[in-house]
Structure 1
Amino acid sequence: VVDYTAEEGYYRVDNSSLPSLFNGDFKEALKESFQRIKYGGVTPTAQKVYYINLQEIKGIKFGTPNPLNYFDNFYNSELFLRAFGTYSIKITDPLLFFMEAIPRNKDRVNIEDINEQYLAEFLEALQAALNQMSADGIRISHVPSKSRELSKYMADILDEDWRRMRGMEIQAVGIASISYDDESRELINMRNKGAMLGDPSVREGYVQGSIARGLEAAGSNEGGSATAFMGMGIGMQGAGNFMGAASQANQRQMELEQAQNTQNTQKNHWFCTNCGAKNFGNFCSECGTKRPSANVCTKCGYKPSGKTPNFCPECGSKF
């Protein structure tokens, strides 16, 4: 490499130093001709001009051929995923990039031509970045929307080595899609179903739906509905007790939650300072007066337990 420049403008190649018959260098010109014959008619001292793109190179595709492990704190399990997306790089040192990354036998090189040799390093850094995101408590389903954080993790891992060895660095990483292996997908569905059944109203619907499906299956029996219902009755003597107990437990939990919600609502009541009506919302249901921000004396801090008086009984200040 003789010289380089990053400035815009026109440049002229000056070959005045080459030997020529017109300036009296007969011996040197003859020697140059013999050298060209030896090299197939091409001067052995030829120089080439290379243009290197210093802008952000976007749209470089990547994919994980094998599943990557990711520990999800929400599911408290080790999951395995495949990720597909794109990333972008920027050349920070064109001379180092030319010397270390560009093949010498090509006149034109696209990033796809040399991406394969760096893909293994990129995927290794991707695994390390995903491990860091897992340690930070990011759910696996939120990874595609965390492209900025992922880019930062990847830059922290790769930039120092790539900048020092090849004169380039990571600019952005975007994951287009994430897919799970069969075991991870089954585990996620099972945990989601278990979380859904934690709601007593959902559990009650599941119990009633199971009973309805059993009755429907019995009615469609080819041997006759009477025989089917007799068999079903015998079977449900044991299962019915369990279903009934489960349904009663669901009803009790729903009633308890409703009572707690009602109790919390009763605790949040207030009395209108204009008409004295008892209210639960943000405005009085009788006169429309807005609920006061704090039912407390601003001077001495007295809090009335019942209806708000017009004057504070402790210091006499007006409420």
Structure 2
Amino acid sequence: MNLKNQMRSVLQWENPKEYQLFYKFIDRGDELKNASKLILQPGQGCIFTYEGKIEGVFEEEGLYDLETANKPFFTTLKKFMNAFESEHKTGIWFYRTSEMLNIRWGTRIPITYTDPVYGFPVQLRAYGNYSLRISNAKEFFVNIMAGQLDYFVDQLQEIFLSRITQPISSYLANAKFSYAEIDSHIETIAAEAQVKTVAIFQKLGFELTDFRIEGSSFDPETNKRIGEISDVQADVKSANIAGVDFAELQKLKAMRDAAKNEGMAGASMGMFAGMEMGKTMQQSNAASHTPSNDVRSKLKDLKALFEDDLISESEYQTKKQQLLDLL
């Protein structure tokens, strides 16, 4: 008989791997049957099964003598060990009871919701980190482990993302945060998502102790749509500053662009565009009495048009003098 197998052995989880949640004790020979001691390090627990059934779950750290069986759980364990004929009938899984911190996550499928301001669907991606710990080892073992030899945190990713995505989507749909408001409400969104999923994770046997969203991004189509809307809004604001309607401003800008693209032949077109803009502004100003404070405002608006290259310097100087004459 192998001398090693005649010696009493110690059961313990040596050198747990990073982010490893469960580990089944496996060794050759009769070591499991002949084990005399079991060691649970701080932050460790163990589950004992016999004939496919969970016979005990133990979470208290320490060194235990299986020969004296001074704990109810180990009394049962000792009896099973001395009675069974094949090591395949029994099993011991060590598991981590300590908290696992800063586990990375990121959405593989965009979160889709309708933007409350713009009224079209947007697709949001996000990334961040979360922390967890096993709160009910038996539930975790039954619902997630399913008898595997070991289990790592990254195997939880699909479960985690499928459970957390829906609460985020529902919250965004009801919170009415627009495209531009997402980043300023990241912490609120994360906190709400964690609260709404506490019960779900508890049923699976683990506790989501922290959940953070570090950043977000929208799909290219959403960014393109928002960019186009922003351009139109800027043009509308420019039209209001110039004292013309939006359609008229678009016409004048088109004439100016055409002039720039046609060289010398377009110089007269550019001059004509400037004259038309000046004429339109003059007509707009002549339509009503202009008090001094309004003149100051229009001088500021006129300067903004000049700085945005919407009117030439000569046009700016001419219109500036016209406004100054009103003071």
TM-score normalised according to structure 2 size? 0.54
1:243, CA displacement in angstroms? Answer: 4.0
The residue that corresponds to 1:315 in the other structure is: none
Contact persistence 2:130–2:212 (CA under 8 A): yes
Q: Deviations over 1:202-239 (max 9, x none)?
A: 8659777655433332226xxxx3xx668x59xx98x7
1:114, CA displacement in angstroms? Answer: 2.6
RMSD across aligned positions (CA): 4.2
- Return closer, same or farther for 1:260/1:247 CA change in 2, 3 Å cut-off: closer
Q: Distance in 1 between matches of 2:60 and 2:81?
A: 35
For the pair shown, the structure with the greater C-alpha radius of gyration is 1
Q: Does 1:148 align with 2:148?
A: no
Higher normalized helix content (fraction of residues): 2
Q: Distance in 2 between matches of 1:88 and 1:200?
A: 46
Q: Does 1:163 align with 2:202?
A: yes
Q: Distance in 1 between matches of 2:193 and 2:161?
A: 13
Q: Distance in 1 between matches of 2:275 and 2:122?
A: 41
- Return closer, same or farther for 1:98/1:105 CA change in 2, 3 Å cut-off: closer
Q: Which blocks of at least 5 consecutive residues in structure 1 are unaligned?
A: 18-27, 37-41, 264-319
Q: Does 1:5 align with 2:55?
A: no
- Return closer, same or farther for 1:244/1:261 CA change in 2, 3 Å cut-off: closer
Q: Distance in 1 between matches of 2:189 and 2:134?
A: 21
- Return closer, same or farther for 1:31/1:203 CA change in 2, 3 Å cut-off: closer
Q: How does 1:78-157 map to 2 (within 5 A)?
A: 78-91=120-133, 93-95=135-137, 96-107=139-150, 109-134=151-176, 138-157=177-196
1:112, CA displacement in angstroms? Answer: 0.8
Q: Which blocks of at least 5 consecutive residues in structure 2 are unaligned?
A: 1-46, 48-55, 70-79, 244-248, 298-327
1:99, CA displacement in angstroms? Answer: 3.2
Contact persistence 2:163–2:200 (CA under 8 A): no
Q: Does 1:48 align with 2:118?
A: no
Q: 1:217 aligns with which of 253, 261, 264?
A: 261
Q: 2:105 aligns with which of 39, 61, 81?
A: 61
- Return closer, same or farther for 1:170/1:191 CA change in 2, 3 Å cut-off: farther
1:94, CA displacement in angstroms? Answer: 3.2
The residue that corresponds to 1:283 in the other structure is: none
Q: How many equivalent pairs are there? A: 225
The residue that corresponds to 1:259 in the other structure is: 293
Identity %: 10
Q: Distance in 2 between matches of 1:29 and 1:57?
A: 36
TM-score normalised according to structure 1 size? 0.55
Q: Distance in 2 between matches of 1:258 and 1:58?
A: 62
Higher normalized strand content (fraction of residues): 2
The residue that corresponds to 2:234 in the other structure is: 196
The letter of the residue matching 1:78 is F
